[in-house]
Amino acid sequence: MMMCVGSDFGDDVAGPLLFRKVHRRLVNIRAVLCETAPEKFLPDILEARPEVILMVNAVDRNLAPGEVVMEDLLKQETKFFLVHKFPLAVLAHVISSELKGTKIMLLGVQVRKMKGRPTPDLVVAVKKLAETIIELDSETARLA
């Protein structure tokens, strides 16, 4: 399952932009547009019982704009993930307490700015991620 988190302001659009690029093309990966309230999807997540959850969001890690990071949310301190109203790491721990063994990862795209239009760095990074996720979904279908 891929949870796409963010708003339509500046580079915070990473999650929603990725969702718009991939959701109609995925067969095996369920994409969910969470916008700024991923916690609202907790009942859907618990019902779906995914083995892997990928939370896609804009991050600020003092990296080059558009750089992508992948981090295990269950191994991070919640203070580093204060995103929108509900920290993603807290949500990850809630999910993990209900779905033992579920792998919960953050796929973050480094932001440059949070206002106005998304920067070219972010748009290029999201396009590459979309291509990779669509390819991964296709490979998963062939293995099934």
How buried is 95 (Cβ within 10 angstroms: 0-12 exposed, 13-18 middle, 19+ buried)?
Answer: buried
Instruction: Please check whether residue 143 lies inside any domain of the structure.
Output: no
34 forms beta bridges with: none
Question: Does the reported pTM lie above 0.75?
Answer: yes
Q: Check residue 85 and give its pLDDT.
A: 64
In the structure encoding, which two tokens stand for residue 58, read together? 């804009």
Beta-strand ranges (E) seen in the chain are: 2-5, 31-35, 52-59, 68-72, 103-110
Per-residue pLDDT of the chain (144 residues; tens, 9 = 90+): 999 999 998 889 999 999 999 999 999 999 999 999 999 999 999 999 999 999 999 999 999 999 999 999 999 765 544 445 678 988 999 999 999 999 999 999 999 988 889 999 999 999 999 999 999 999 887 776
In a domain, 76, yes or no: yes
Alpha carbon distance 56, 48 (integer Å) = 18
Q: What is the pLDDT of residue 100?
A: 95
Residue 144 lies in a domain: no
Residue 137, token pair as written in the block: 């979904």
- CATH number of the domain residue 48 falls in: 3.40.50.1450
The structural domain count of the chain equals 1
Range of the domain at 15: 2-136
> Given this model, what pLDDT does residue 51 score?
95
Instruction: Report yes or no on 60 lying in a domain.
Output: yes
In a domain, 141, yes or no: no
